[in-house]
Structure 1
Amino acid sequence: MKKITRIVALFTVLIFSATAMAQAKSNDYERNFKFGVGLNTGLPLNDPYSFNLGGDIRAQYNVSETYSLCFTTGYNSLFVKDDAPNFGYIPVKVGYKTFIFSNEFYVMGEIGGAFSTTKNYKENSMLFCPSVGYATKYVDISVRYEFLKDFPMIKDNVADTGLAQIMLRLAYGFDL
């Protein structure tokens, strides 16, 4: 837990440092908040899971035209093969988004925690998510790699941890 706290603290310091630099460069930009509601679907890269389906909400603070801070939470359900019970979790992430090219394409990194909602599994996990996406005034489409460090999976017919998946997010966003 101490290691997780240190990583989250370091990431927070990096975000605030980048925010301060962006604010110094863009004093004339009118900062604003944006809110989004998304649908997520994904392909787990590990057994025993077949696919992932979920939803999320995201609050985004636009620091400048090209830099944003994000907070995302929601719910995801991993569907398990062979009629076993599904595996659900609540992700809670903070992120940093940088727009590139014509301020529509972006790259983003998120870090946070994933909290199990499955009855027989009480463990939580750290969560890492790099993503690339395309956003307009109302539409946000992104693809991300999601790694849940401590969630169960099967590797070479042996129970292990470290669930990885590729996720697609389709979202509707608006200014607050």
Structure 2
Amino acid sequence: MPTTRKSPIVHLVAAAPALVQAALHHPVDMVKLGAKGPRLVEWAEQHALALPERIYDTRPVGADGVLARVGTGELILECQPEDELWVRLNAALEAAEAGVYRVEQQSVTLVVQGDDAEGILAQACAVDLAREPVGRMVYTQVAGVACGVLPCGEDGQRAYRLWVDYSLAAYLWDALAAIAADITCAKTPD
């Protein structure tokens, strides 16, 4: 079973100026998988998979991963392929019974980070993401594109993980990169 796929924006990231790359990160070493179904909670308990308590809550996984509960009976795991939870979730899904289904995730992850993260998102999103709690998913539009947004980090050092449909990732990268370039150029002396 393949765990990775070619990113639709890797060439855009590579061509971006260093200041844009500092503000926008595209992790390519992560894998993503979902599980869904009316028996998800019971199934997770049977397999000792600790779910986040409430819908839209998340919990950290490994170094940079996250397990998000995005519905009553739906979760998404994004992590390193060697993370223990990745292995356990895959094994549990191989033995899944009726009422729980594997959901291949086709979204692309972008991380808006650094001193200008909030300024970039303020220009692209109507939701004041700086006011949203860390570790809780927000579904909104960023530059007109439906995204899942996860505020991460501490106040003053926040980052925002965006999950966007694979087919719209290049458009969103271009829109956010243009905003990031405008902001960083305005701060850079001529």
Structure-2-length-normalised TM-score:
0.29
Structure-1-length-normalised TM-score:
0.31
Instruction: Identify the structure with the greater strand proportion.
Output: 1
Larger RCO (alpha carbons 8 Å, 6+ apart): 2
Instruction: Identify the structure with the greater helix proportion.
Output: 2
